[in-house]
Each structure stands twice: as structure tokens, then as C-alpha cells.
Amino acid sequence: MIRIENLVKSFGPKRAVDGVSFNVERGEVLGFLGPNGAGKSTTMRMITGFIPPTEGKIAVGGYDVTESPLEAKRLIGYLPEAAPAYPDMTVHGFLAFAADMRGLTGGAKHKAIDRVVELCFLDSVLHQGIDTLSKGYKHRTCLAQALIHDPEVLVLDEPTDGLDPNQKHEVRNLIRELGRTKAVVFSTHILEEVDAACTRAIIIDRGRIVANGTPAELRGMSGLAGAVTVSGQGVSADKLAPLGRVEVADGAYRVFPADKAAAGELAREVAALATRESWRLEALRTEEGQLDEVFRRITLPDTVKK
């Protein structure tokens, strides 16, 4: 649904987005990760046609965003970063405006408003002015606007920003649910959201894609991935040493495999060793790797320099 080829955006001499290419198909939820200022919002603004790209091509549903912007924009629902909404309108008035702009009329318009009000839990504030809403409600009002025409492509810039933990949970579930039938791109810097909602994630840093894969693949890039952590009475580092490099952490021993591909074997070998040596094990597990470690390792040099 979304095809991006070699996208570049320059602001003066600075290349905010520098040669980004990726595709998002229907049924995919793509998480867009990166430190602040990495180019996430700029990329999303180009996908939604708000700012023109300096170079490169973006097609949404087969329509080139620069050549046929109206057709492309019709397919997209967009939640901008700060979740802007007209403060002088009521929630209902605002959603009715969004429905009108999307060409919905009569019964379809009423149905669409009812649907998004329910999806985004806006019932209690429906006739309240947007300027009187709390941040969470304002955010969900803008999200409702993005969903009103049941778009095939959703672009959400930090959809869970400013929400409380319960609301975050609801919105993540909603994104995952919507992702079954739509192409969804959302940006975040909360790494647990990648696990909670994404089918695929891209890490972007200084305008370039530095990692692209499923959450499991990204975790696999962690130095920790594939290591086996073992703890219990009698466990000794000397005995584990032949299996790989051993580290001691928090009273547990962590064995790193010499060959990552054979990581599955390692747990079995440790278990066999434990039986032979009659260790009384309390825990034995294969580490999946941690996203935040991968994220820091890939993007840290940049953040430190600033």
C-alpha cells in the first residue's frame, strides 16, 4: 500500500531524511523507531503529502503523492505529532467537519461518527469544547478524526504520546486490530510498543534506516540474544566455560554461544551438563535479546554527540 523509494528531504544543508526506502503492505503494522530528530515525523509528513520530498518517490495505494495528492490523501488517515484539533469546536463538531471533508454525508456520516466515538472512547466528552479537554481526550479526538473514513492506510505520529497506561494499552490494541485489514505506520519511542503492536519495525537514525525487521529479528541483533542464563546451587563458571564465554550477573551465570546460529543447542547442552553435575537449578532460560539494548547500540553514538 505504501511504497517509498530513496526518499530525501533537505532543510538547507541538513538532510533530515537521507535515502529512506521501505514498503508497507495491507495487514502490516510498521513501527517507526528512532531518537528525537531522527527524521520520523518528517518522513510521515511526506507520506501524507504535507511537505514535498526533495528527492525520491512515495506511492500510496498506487497513487504518487506528489502527482496525484488528492487520490493519495483520500486513502490516508493521519494523526499528526501534536494531535492538533480546532480548539473552538466541540468534539462532535470537529468529527462532523472531518466527515464532511472526507465526503461522508447523511446516514454514512452519522454511522462513521458513532463508530469512531466508540473506538476512541469519546462518548463522555462528545459535546464538550476541544479547548476544555485533557491531553488524553484531545489526542483521542484527533485519532478519531484519522479513523473517520475507515482509511486503508493509517499514519500515526506517536499515537500513544500523552496517554495514561490504560489508554496506551487500549490504543495499542486498537492499532493491532486495525493492522489486520489496513497498512499502518506508527512512530514511537516506547520500545515495548513495538512488541505490543508491530509486525515489523524500522529503526531510523540521522535520516537513514539502520535496522529493518520483525521485532524478533531486531531483538536477535542484541548481543544478549541466544545467551543462556542459568542459576542454582552448585553451578560453576569453570564447568560452563567449555560451552562458551561466561559472565556472572546478579548471582546467575550467563553463557554466550560461540556461534549464534546454534543458540538453541546451547540450552540443551547446559541442561545436560546440569544433570551430569547434579546442579540444583533454579532457572534456565535462553535470552531473546532486548530491544532497548539494540536501539541504544545502534543509535547511541548520535545521541551522545548531541
Distance between CA atoms of residues 142 and 130, nearest Å: 10
Taking the C-alpha atoms of residue 215 and residue 31, their distance in angstroms, rounded to an integer, is 9
How many CB atoms neighbour CB 296 within 10 A? 14
Per CB under 8 A, does 279 bind other proteins?
Answer: no
**Site map for other proteins, 76-95, x if CB under 8 A?**
x-x-xxx-xxxxxx---x--
Task: Report how many residues bind other proteins under the rule CB under 8 A.
Answer: 32
| Of positions 40, 102, 182, 254, contacts other proteins by CB under 8 A | 102
Least Å distance, CB 248 to other proteins, is: 51
Residue 50 or 121: which CB sits closer to other proteins?
50
**Binding map of other proteins across residues 114-153, x = CB under 8 A, - = no contact:** ----------------------------x--x--------
Q: Does 67 bind other proteins (CB under 8 A)?
A: no
CA-based end-to-end distance of the chain: 36
Cβ within 8 Å of residue 304, ≥6 positions away = none
Shorter beta-carbon distance to other proteins: residue 4 or 263: 4
Residue 100 touches other proteins, criterion: CB under 8 A = yes
Q: Does 97 bind other proteins (CB under 8 A)?
A: yes
Kindly identify the residues of this chain, within the stretch 175-214, that bind other proteins according to CB under 8 A.
Answer: none
84 phi and psi, to 5 degrees?
Answer: -70, 150
Q: 177-216 burial, b if ≥16 CB within 10 A, otherwise e?
A: ebbeebbbbbbbeebebbebbbbbbbbbbbbebbbeeebe
CA proximity to 211, closest of 34, 44, 59, 39: 34
Residue 8 in the binding site for other proteins (CB under 8 A): no
Applying CB under 8 A, does 11 fall inside the site for other proteins? yes
Buried b (16+ CB within 10 A) or exposed e, 256-282: bbeeeeebeebbebbeebbeeeebeee
Considering only the stretches 68-76, 158-166, 179-187, 201-209, report the one whose residues sit in contact with other proteins under the rule CB under 8 A.
68-76
Q: Which stretch binds other proteins (CB under 8 A): 22-30, 67-75, 191-199, 273-281?
A: 67-75
C-beta of residue 193 within 8 angstroms of C-beta of residue 211: no
Grid coordinates representing 137 are 481526550
Binding residues for other proteins, rule: CB under 8 A, are 9, 11, 45, 48-52, 69-70, 73-74, 76, 78, 80-82, 84-89, 93, 97-98, 100-103, 142, 145
